[in-house]
Amino acid sequence: MLKAPTVGYEDAIVVPEITADNFELKHGLLTLVQNKQFFGHDKEDPHAHIRYFNKITYTMKFPNVPSTSVKLMIFSFSREGAARIWLEKEPPRSILTWDDLFSKFINKFFPPSKTTNLRNEITRFQQRFDETFYEAWDQFNDLLRACPRHGFSELHQLDTFYNALNSNDQDSLNSAARCNFLDKMPQDCLRIIESKSKVRNSRNKPVVAKV
């Protein structure tokens, strides 16, 4: 009766048995993962964290060891704070694959409501009065990157961006396209935009008089 319980202390993540000979996680790999931990703050981007985590784990190859097993093994080292507490509250042995872990992580820190809000921001995007073409294109791409699951087609993205521009920049795109800009193929439109955006001062900022 006085014996301490031994159940209920298992981790949520189940790492498949690794049978490879001489397998050893390098300390350098853990250090790289811990250098950029995810804390679960509102302004943190879980998608960016996964991209960084994937990039780090892809650089380390172990013979006869699936990369997904390595990811499951070291993911715990990549989070702290609220993200660490979240994973500790998950039921023991409830995460069996990397897809399970990825799905639960994204749904926790990037719920559908956040996707909806960011989709609305993309749809309502407008070039500001004092914003150059380059700055508007850069800001628009930041919104797209912040919402990987926005679901907008390439054509829809181009249409949204074009209609958000001021008349001068719209005329400039039409002139570069030698027709209505949106009549071009999406890849041609992107080439025109990229070419124009390389000139960072493609439109002089208007001088706002002080009242």
Residue 25 vs residues 6, 28, 64, 95, 96: alpha-carbon distances, Å = 27, 9, 14, 21, 20
* pLDDT, tens only, 75-107: 999 999 999 999 999 999 999 999 999 999 999
CA distance 191 to 117: 29
Mean pLDDT across the chain: 88
What pLDDT is recorded for position 202?
47
- Residue 4, pLDDT above cutoff 60: no
Contacts of 10 (CB under 8 A, 6+ apart): 92, 93
pLDDT band at 183 (very low <50, low <70, confident <90, very high): very high
CA distance 41 to 43: 6
Percentage of residues of the chain with pLDDT beyond 90: 69
Residue 58 vs residues 24, 142, 161, 171: alpha-carbon distances, Å = 16, 25, 35, 45
What does the pLDDT average to over 30-41?
A: 92
Contacts by 54-57, CB closer than 8 A, 24 or more apart = 56/29, 56/32, 57/29
pLDDT band at 207 (very low <50, low <70, confident <90, very high): very low
- Residue 6, pLDDT above cutoff 50: yes
